[in-house]
């Protein structure tokens, strides 16, 4: 019985690798492949453009040690997004006599035709990623041209004024709109102010405390 291993990758921490693992386990069972639990390599929250990933590095090291005979992935783009990195991994697996199988594309490297198709799929995956990046850049350029803010909140925000406005009874939306910042940034400033009660927010010109102090000094 051939020994199999799974490699699974999800790009964000809120995605669930179990979706891919379930299909891989079902495939291995149908093909009569044995998979030990320690041979399920999962990179959680790693983009495909990163060549170095903890589980990927561990999987390749185990491949060199001949710990498994077949590597199963849910899709080719789970392994790598760039053609160069993808082919490097495939070449290394081949040098270790490890067969590569991708479920979604129904490809394996047991023959020359499989290797040829995998190279084509890798090229298309890299092209798709390049097009996605170009679309994002175009969207950002359009947003800038329309005067919309992109990225983090401005650093020149008058934090004391923001806190004062919120404490005076203005809603989150009103404060955010007045200062050109997000509601989340307003909440963050308020939490910081509450967490540091020793740091007093100085009264603003014309505020009630300042007027009271001025009246007392006049007396």
The catalytic residue among 11, 34, 75, 82 is 11
Half-sphere exposure of 136 (CA within 13 A, CB side): 7
Q: Which of 71, 76, 74 is nearest to 122 (CA)?
A: 76
Place of tokens 């404060």: 175
11 annotated active-site: yes
Q: In the beta sheet, which residues pair with residue 42?
A: 8
7, 41 Cβ separation under 8 angstroms: yes
- DSSP states along 35-77: --GGGEEEEES--TT-S--HHHHHHHHHHHTT--SEEEES-HH
The SS3 call for residue 81 is: coil
Residues noted as catalytic: 11
């Amino acid at each position: 019985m051939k020994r199999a291993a799974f490699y699974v990758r999800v790009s964000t921490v809120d995605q669930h690798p179990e979706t891919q693992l379930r299909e891989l386990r079902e495939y291995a069972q149908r093909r009569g492949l044995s998979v030990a639990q320690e041979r399920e390599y999962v990179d959680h929250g790693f983009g495909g453009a990163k060549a170095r990933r903890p589980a990927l590095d561990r999987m390749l090291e185990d491949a060199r040690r001949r710990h498994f005979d077949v590597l199963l992935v849910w899709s080719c783009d789970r392994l790598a997004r760039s053609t160069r990195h993808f082919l490097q991994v495939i070449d290394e697996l081949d040098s270790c006599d490890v067969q590569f199988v991708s479920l979604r594309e129904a490809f394996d490297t047991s023959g020359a035709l499989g290797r040829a198709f995998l190279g084509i799929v890798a090229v298309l995956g890299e092209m798709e990623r390049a097009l996605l990046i170009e679309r994002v850049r175009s969207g950002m350029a359009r947003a800038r041209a329309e005067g919309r803010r992109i990225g983090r909140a401005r650093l020149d925000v008058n934090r004391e004024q923001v806190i004062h406005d919120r404490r005076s009874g203005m809603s989150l939306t009103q404060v955010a709109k007045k200062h050109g910042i997000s509601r989340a940034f307003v909440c963050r400033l308020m939490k910081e102010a509450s967490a540091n009660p020793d740091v007093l927010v100085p009264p603003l010109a014309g505020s009630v405390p300042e007027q009271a102090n001025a009246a007392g000094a006049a007396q």
